[in-house]
Amino acid sequence: MTRKIFIWVAHPRATSFCSGLADAYQAGAEAGGATVRRMDLNDMRFDPYFEGYGADVPALEADLLTWQENIAWADHLMIVHPYWWGAMPARAKAVLDRALTSGFAFKYHSRGMGWDRLLTGRTADALITSDTPTLIDTLFYLKPPRRVIRNQVLKFCGIKPRKVVQFGSVKLAEEAKRARWIERARTMGRTAA
């Protein structure tokens, strides 16, 4: 059975190292026989303004509905994003705020603190780029981007994380190191297929 992979490049700029990682991951996945769909944040059009969950939540725009459809279609997700000020970029976070909705990604129980994870049966990889060296991020900041994407996003919705990898420092990395990171993304894509 052909593996269905959805790649989301959650970087607001069209040309970025994140895009290069996604390109390599996609090439590896397609070489492994997977069918791939991809969305790039810089191409998505939606209102990032969000007042919170409640009765007055505005309808999702076409790109956010397509994003949801791609997640529903996929067996496996790949999210690649930069690490800015302790988290993913605000516009990427707005996609999660707006589109990982109750009834689609999760559903709270009417009583108590429990919830149903509605996206079970899927796996995911995540690649995170940072200017902070990974060791410093781990020792001093306790790896917030990796914890958030793994626990508060993927696992919360029922998606099983496979590989959550942070590459840094991108700013200080020489071309040979960046090439190794690109090759690792390609290998991850091939393995995911």
Name the DSSP letter for residue 111: S
**Are the CB atoms for 97 and 50 separated by under 8 Å?**
yes
Instruction: Give the strand order in the sheet containing 160-168.
Output: 35-40, 4-9, 76-82, 123-130, 160-168
Radius of gyration of the chain (CA): 17
Q: What is the model's pTM?
A: 0.96
* 18 residue type, one letter: C
Other C-beta atoms lying within 10 Å of the C-beta of residue 101? 16
Q: Is 61 helix (H, G, I), strand (E, B) or coil?
A: coil
pLDDT digits (tens, 9 = 90+) for 46-97: 999 888 877 777 899 999 999 999 999 999 999 999 999 989 999 999 999 9
Residue 161 near residue 192, CB atoms below 8 Å: no
User: What is the 3-state composition of the chain as percent helix, strand, coil, each rounded to the nearest 5?
Assistant: 40, 25, 35
- pLDDT tens readout for residues 171-189: 999 999 999 999 999 999 9
What pLDDT is attached to residue 96?
A: 97
The domain total for the chain is: 1
CATH of the domain at 50: 3.40.50.360
Q: How far apart are alpha carbons 135 and 179 in whole angstroms?
A: 20
Domain region containing 44: 4-192
